[in-house]
Amino acid sequence: AQKITQTQPGMFVQEKEAVTLDCTYDTSDPSYGLFWYKQPSSGEMIFLIYQGSYDQQNATEGRYSLNFQKARKSANLVISASQLGDSAMYFCAMREGFVYGNKLVFGAGTILRVKS
Amino acid sequence: GAVVSQHPSWVICKSGTSVKIECRSLDFQATTMFWYRQFPKQSLMLMATSNEGSKATYEQGVEKDKFLINHASLTLSTLTVTSAHPEDSSFYICSPNYGGTEAFFGQGTRLTVV
C-alpha cells in the first residue's frame, strides 16, 4: 500500500488565489512527521512546512499552512495568495517514528502552475 | 538550517565509466546520510542509508555493488556509480540525518550516461 498518496498530478491556480494540494498518508506508527517540499526545475528540495503527529495545531509558515486531519490521515498544503514563483513540483513526505531519523517516504508529487 | 553541499551538480559520463558524487554536511556532524534517486518526472525514492564507520544499508532492488557508498567521516559521504549505464541516468540527492523537524537536502546531482 502507498504510504503517501498525492492524487493531483497537476494543478492550475490563478495568481493571488489560494490553492490546496492534497496528501493522504498511511502509517500504524503513532509517532510520525509530515513534510512538504517544493522542487523547482533546478531540482533542489526546498523545505516548506512540517507537522508532527502530536502537534495540536496546524502548522503555518508564512503563506503556507498545513491542514492536518489526523483521523482522516490527511495533510493538505494550502498556499495562500499564489505567486508566479510558486510554479513547481510539490512533494508530501512522511517520517515514521524517530528510530530511523529523517528517512522520508515521498508521494508522487503535484505539479503546480500559477497563471497570470 | 543545516548546510549541505553536494558535488557535482551535474555530470555526463560515458557508458561503462564510474562517477563519484560527494555530499558534505558543512555545519554539523552527520552520522547517517540518506541517498535518494529521482528518475525524470517521478518522485524521490530512498536508495540507501550510509552510516559513518559502518556498512551502508540498501533498499530492496538497489545493487550494492553498483552503487558504492562510503561514509568515512562525520561530514562526508560519497556515492559512486560504478560501470554506469544509460538506465542509471537520474537525479541523485543526499540528505543528512539532522533530526528535528526538518530534513535538509544537498543540491542534487543530475547524472547523464551516454
Residues 6+ apart with CB under 8 A from B83: B16, B17, B18, B66
Which of B38, B42, B97 lies closest to A102 in CB terms? B97
Q: What is the pLDDT of residue B1?
A: 65
The nearest alpha carbon in chain B to A34 belongs to B101
CA atoms of B52 and B75, how far apart (whole Å) = 9
Are B2 and B97 in contact by the 8 Å Cβ rule? The answer is no
Give chain A's mean pLDDT: 94
Contact B107 A95 (CB under 8 A): no
Cell of A8: 493531483
CA atoms of A12 and B48, how far apart (whole Å) = 35
The string of pLDDT tens digits covering residues A24-73 is 999 999 999 999 999 999 999 999 999 999 999 999 999 999 999 999 99
Does any CB of chain B come closer than 8 Å to the CB of residue A54?
Answer: no
The string of pLDDT tens digits covering residues B33-60 is 999 999 998 999 999 999 888 899 999 9
Shortest alpha-carbon distance between residue B97 and chain A (Å) = 6
Q: Which of B54, B51, B7, B50 is nearest to B26 (CA)?
A: B7
Q: Which of B8, B3, B22 is nearest to B76 (CA)?
A: B22
DSSP letter string, B2-55: --EEEE-SEEEE-TT--EEEEEEESSS--SEEEEEEE-TTS-EEEEEEEETTEE
Which of B32, B45, B103 lies closest to A35 in CB terms? B103
Q: Label the pairing between strands B10-13 and B109-113.
A: parallel
Neighbours of B27 (CB within 10 A): 9
Between B93 and A98, the higher pLDDT residue: B93
Contact B44 A91 (CB under 8 A): yes
B58 DSSP 8-state letter: E
